[in-house]
Amino acid sequence: MKMNKLYILFLALCLVGCAKKQPEKQPIKELHSEADLTGLRVGVQTGGTYDLQLSSRNDIVKMGYNSVSDALLALSQGKLDVFVDDESSIPLDEQKRLGIKVAFYGDEAIPCAFPLRKGDNGLRDSLSYFIDSLNATGEMKEIHDKWFLNETPSQLRIPDLGPEPTGKPILVGAVSELPPLSFHVAYDWQGFEPEVLQRFGRYAGRPVKFEHYPLSSAISALQSNKTDIIIGGIFITEERQKTMDFTSSHFSVRAAYYVKDENGQTASFGNKLKDMFYNNLVVEDRWKYITDGLWETVKISLFSLLLGTLFGAGVCALRMSRSKGLSKIAKIYIDLMRGIPMLVFLMIMFYVIFSKTGLGGTAIAVLAFAMNFAAYVSEMFRTSIQSVSKGQIEAGLALGLTKWQTFWHITAPQAVKSVMPVYKGEAVSLVKSTSIVGYIAIQDLTRASDIIRTRTFDAFFPLLIVTIIYFILAWLLGKALDLIVKSKKTTKNDHHKPFDKDLLRSRRFYTSGVERR
């Protein structure tokens, strides 16, 4: 009774506290320079140049975000006061749609260039000469202004530059998906930097091939010969020059300080939902990114499950081998696969072990996930096999069955029944784990949503779609495995005996020509 009174008193105090009028949030003052940022929550992209520049300031609350769309969502929700990024990162038409504006620009213009692999002097010198020529003739400024001074750069396209050359391809790792810098429409790359490189490709007689990478992965790809050039408005810094070479600068960019536009128009929920559906799926047929990414995820998942199950059975056989050496090797393999994070292992496979083999990213991903899945599956198989009573195995051998027949007709059915619930959970976990393959430039389901998010700056709708699709995939996989187990049980019950009639009539069940009965 006493505890009930205390509980009621606690609830009453909570209600009083909630009912107390909260102080109204003060509007952000007008910002005109970096000195006005004192006391504000300032968002930056984690690991970027602005993140490093603002790290020395103790008078602001610096908040890091992995993407522009995440930061803009926080800005619109009032969780952020200012977001700092390049002046070209958010086009004017997108600013109006998102209800944000530029409060002020930074004073310093930072030069940008194309990073190349250390030692690739021929490509560096040739591209630098081409850039210098465009700068000298003023053609570079014309290309720049065409993309950067247009209010709707996402609607622009690279002009017809003639037939594509047939020489050795120039492999480009793109780390930006934002107009006007670089973006792709229907898998054709557009933007200021792609146009410059396409023009250079015609000049050098080499086709240009683009792949999208996160910045950290693009640097690894550059150093492992997966790419020749990186694009994405990369700043020239002393630290970066230690690991990469840079061409001549092809443009400069200032910092822009974005804030919420309090005078912007607020749409109703219905219109917002309609706009989200239209912008994320209909415009430029962006739904195709989702369907293509889904197909890639399904391929990697299914092949990894099949190959990993076979690998797991083999590792299980080695683990249960009478040879101590083989058993030890299998145990080391299992411990190694279990101890390495899947993302780290995937990147090692792609950027180190198979970096010079020419093997595609999808094949490497399937092999990596299969090897990891096999380590877990092998232990599941071993435990389930050992759970079968030895008496049943001895009875099968006593009836004249071989070890293989005993395993197939007595041990395996019971082992499969006991292992299936755990196997199903691990299989579903593998499907969800494939969401990391975007780090090796595979456009899977998650990567497709990231591409859409970077184009629409919508942090919610693409992720919601992907979440629903992953849930459906996991549910369908679980149901499929349940049906397999159910069909096995039905087949077994139809015979009513552990061995079929043909097996009982085989020569192993004859003694002196007389059938055992």
The closest of 219, 146, 232, 145 to 189, measured between CA atoms, is: 232
Burial label for 352, CB within 10 Å (0-12, 13-18, 19+), is: exposed
Which of 417-421, 442-446, 510-514 is the most confident on average?
442-446
Give 185's strand partners.
188
Burial label for 20, CB within 10 Å (0-12, 13-18, 19+), is: exposed
What pLDDT shows up at residue 262? Answer: 78
Q: Which residue, chain included where needed, has tokens 């959970």?
A: 425
User: Is pLDDT at 342 greater than 90 in this prediction?
Assistant: yes
Would you place residue 293 in the very low, low, confident or very high pLDDT band (cuts 50, 70, 90)?
very high
Q: Which residue, chain included where needed, has tokens 């992907």?
A: 466
User: Is pLDDT at 511 greater than 60 in this prediction?
Assistant: no
For the residues 23-34, what does the mean pLDDT come to?
Answer: 66
Angle between helices 121-137 and 192-204 (to 10 degrees): 110
Report the chain's mean pLDDT, rounded to a whole number.
83
What pLDDT shows up at residue 512? Answer: 38
How far is residue 411's CA from residue 329's CA, in Å, rounded to a whole number? 25
Would you place residue 499 in the very low, low, confident or very high pLDDT band (cuts 50, 70, 90)?
very low
pLDDT, tens only, 135-178: 999 999 999 999 998 888 888 999 999 999 988 999 999 987 88
User: Is pLDDT at 495 greater than 70 in this prediction?
Assistant: no
Tokens of 268: 């109703």
* Contact present, 130 and 267 (Cβ < 8 Å): no
* More confident call, 340 vs 457: 340
* Contact present, 157 and 193 (Cβ < 8 Å): no
User: Is pLDDT at 231 greater than 90 in this prediction?
Assistant: yes
For the residues 317-342, what does the mean pLDDT come to?
Answer: 91
What pLDDT shows up at residue 27? Answer: 52
Residue 344 has a CB neighbour count (10 Å cut-off) of 9
User: Is pLDDT at 498 greater than 60 in this prediction?
Assistant: no
Phi then psi for 209, rounded to 5 degrees?
-115, 130
What pLDDT shows up at residue 192? Answer: 95
The closest of 231, 320, 280 to 452, measured between CA atoms, is: 280
Q: How many CA atoms lie within 13 A of 469 on its CB side?
A: 21
pLDDT, tens only, 368-379: 999 999 999 998
For the residues 33-49, what does the mean pLDDT come to?
Answer: 88
Contacts of 218 (CB under 8 A, 6+ apart): 173, 174, 175, 227, 230, 232
For the residues 38-56, what does the mean pLDDT come to?
Answer: 87
pLDDT, tens only, 406-436: 777 777 777 777 788 888 889 999 999 999 9
* More confident call, 37 vs 94: 37
Percentage above 90 pLDDT, the chain: 41
* More confident call, 262 vs 319: 319
CA 220 to each of CA 155, 166, 242, 306, 422: distance values in angstroms, whole numbers, following the listed order: 32, 27, 14, 30, 36
User: Is pLDDT at 331 greater than 90 in this prediction?
Assistant: yes
User: Is pLDDT at 500 greater than 60 in this prediction?
Assistant: no
Contacts of 410 (CB under 8 A, 6+ apart): 388, 392, 393, 395, 396, 401, 498
What pLDDT shows up at residue 12? Answer: 52
How far is residue 392's CA from residue 493's CA, in Å, rounded to a whole number? 18
Tokens of 74: 């926080």
Would you place residue 133 in the very low, low, confident or very high pLDDT band (cuts 50, 70, 90)?
very high
